[in-house]
Amino acid sequence: MIKAQKGTKDILPAEVDNWHKMEEAALDVFSKANFREIRTPIFEATELFARGVGDSTDIVNKEMYTFEKSERSLTLRPENTAGVVRAYIENGFSRLPQPVKLWYKGPMFRYERPQAGRQRQFHQVGVEMFGVYEASADAECINLAVKYLNALGLNDLEIELNSLGCKDCRDKYRTAIKEVLKNELPELCDDCKYRYEKNPLRILDCKNESCKKIFEKKEIQEVIYSDYICDECKSHFEELKGYLHVLKIPYKINKLLVRGLDYYNRTVFEIKSNNLGSQNAVCGGGRYDSLVETLGGAPTPAVGWAMGMERLNSLIPPVVQKNIDAFVISENMAEALKLTQELRDKGKSVEFDYGARKFKKQLDKAAKTANYAYILLEDELKNNTVTVKNLLTSEQKTLRRSEI
């Protein structure tokens, strides 16, 4: 028997109502904020992710599904921000009135060890906002994430916030981190040794327990918690905190929060749910003012976030499956088909018995799946009537076909 591949999962009919709920809530919440949906291809040029996501990230180094076709290197998208930025540039969105506000949903692909809420084919919902340098855009995106989670019934949330500063700030901080960790380099894990050369800030995101203990040393803590960002970046961050206060969105500052992608600057944030275990982040995002330019566009400020839909699905209660409106019972298949279609044309959800089995078996099936039974036996067909039975109360009436 051929089975689903490791790290992939069928979304079965009994589960799909929850996915509809997540998708419909996204359309409702984001549309109210004038975000428009965009759908980008599932595969892109490999270079897009190498340049956009960053070659120091685990995603590019270890996790991408890349294949050659007609001497071109293509990659199944591991995330969607780079693809949305490519579409923004390619379709001339910079010529539109700014800001351009977009949202997306769909499958992503990363070759990593499957775990709870994380698969090799997984789904994300996210937003991207282009054209606004001010912190009001950051506040808008964070507020939108909170409202979306609230719409799904998730209210026990914790927001962590940090500012990485601009490129100059980051360069100074990177230099300081490298200097204080220089003597610790032999004790760091292999990933951190690589990050030390390529992107030292990502060391702070390491989940290795031995590395975490090194970061707890006093002299390293002093550098991590030093006030390295410039006055302009500091002002931007203070404005954001003020807007979140106005919106009554509580948060806490986490100086170790750097996010796993190279393109972030200034604001980074995560939203966590206290109903998950150690892997409790449901949303991650931030500002990426240099990414559009890196991928060939004009300098354009941007901010956004993404959520893993599998994790969301594990948190929201299952949607109770509803009965269909009606079940047509008849041993005359042609008449059953005809009445079923008449009722569907009137907007009702209707089923019938494809095998034209005996009356009792059809009624038993109807009682399990529908609110009403529409009965067409010999007497009803002879008199041009239909017997309608309420399967919840057992009441029934015989009506003329024109009355049903």
Examine the fold and report which residue of 288, 315, 342 is the final residue of a domain before the chain moves on. 315
- 152 and 19 in one domain? yes
CB 103 within 8 A of CB 127: yes
Note the pLDDT of residue 260.
Answer: 61
Distances (CA, A) of 201 to 18, 171, 237, 377: 37, 10, 19, 75
The confidence score (pLDDT) of residue 224 equals 78
The CATH number that applies at residue 57 is 3.30.930.10
172 belongs to a structural domain: no
Which of 272, 287, 315 corresponds to the end of one domain? 315
Are 294 and 358 contained in the same domain? no
Q: Are 144 and 30 in contact (CB under 8 A)?
A: yes
Identify the pLDDT of residue 207: 76
Residues of the chain with pLDDT under 70: 55-58, 61, 116-117, 260-262, 275-279
CATH of residue 345 = 3.40.50.800
> Of the candidates 284, 315, 346, which is a domain's last residue?
315
Query: What phi and psi, each to the nearest 5 degrees, are found at residue 111?
Result: -85, 95
Query: Do 301 and 160 belong to one domain?
Result: yes
Contact 263, 290 (CB under 8 A): yes
Residue 290 lies in a domain: yes
Domain total of the chain: 2
- Cβ atoms 83, 41 nearer than 8 A: yes
Domain around 375:
324-403
Question: Do 160 and 137 belong to one domain?
Answer: yes
Q: What is the pLDDT of residue 174?
A: 82
Query: What pLDDT shows up at residue 55?
Result: 62
Task: Give the global pTM.
Answer: 0.87
pLDDT in tens, 236-263: 999 999 999 999 999 999 888 877 666 7
Domain match, 379 and 243 both: no
**Quick check: is 261 in a domain?**
yes
Chain-centroid distance, C-alpha 402: 48
